[in-house]
Amino acid sequence: MFQLVCASSRYGYMLCNCDYLNESQLLHIRTRLAIAAAIAILAVTLLPILAISQSTGTIEPGFAGALVAVRQAETAGATPNEITALVTLLNKALELNGEALKLTTPSDANRRTELVSQVDQSLITVQSQAHDLTTLASQRSSTNKALTYVSGILAAFVGMILFAFVVSFYRSYRIKRTFQMRITRK
């Protein structure tokens, strides 16, 4: 017995009891579920891509490259402490860029040029450190995977040896018990 929403009433939907669903109703339900699943999959896959493209589209290309490099280091498995150091450098570059943008008079041109060169140097440092961290983190994760597999193999081998020892001990004990039994007449 199924309860289905059959028709809408003045106060909401009414439930009706049905013994079965016909083929057209099942097809209708399946298509809606397939559409909902497709929308969910698209949303999960496209939202991070859209968020990154929107966040990097409004800033300068140097900052965008540095942000992408830091994001790659983070996804490669860099630790939060390593990412914090990169974010600190990015924040310093943003502060210097903000100061450079405030200097608009021609007399401040030298100071502005100096600040812009410091911003560029900071961004180059962030990108190089992020690429180094990406390499290091991927090596670290590969090493961790290899150690996991090796430890699993070793654990299986030790388990196999222990099992063989226990079976051997059980058999030898059983044989000794058999020969120790005395057969007596009643």
Q: Where exactly are the structural domains of the chain?
A: 1-58, 60-161
Mean pLDDT of 123-146: 91
Written as one letter, the residue type at 183 is I
Best-predicted range by mean pLDDT among 13-17, 22-26, 90-94, 104-108?
A: 90-94
Does the pLDDT of residue 18 top 80, yes or no?
A: no
Could you tell me what percentage of the chain is helix, strand and coil, using 3-state DSSP and rounding each to the nearest 5? 80, 10, 10
d(CA 158, CA 165): 10
Q: How confident is the model at residue 151 (pLDDT cuts 50, 70, 90)?
A: very high
Write out the two tokens for 105: 């008079």
pLDDT above 70 as % of the chain: 75
On whether the pTM is more than 0.75, the answer is no
90: enclosing H helix or E strand: helix 80-102
Q: What is the pLDDT of residue 171?
A: 78
pLDDT in tens, 55-91: 433 457 788 888 899 999 888 888 889 889 999 999 9
Q: How confident is the model at residue 2 (pLDDT cuts 50, 70, 90)?
A: very low
User: Across the strands, what pairs with 12?
Assistant: 9
First to last CA, the chain: 69
Q: What is the pLDDT of residue 152?
A: 93
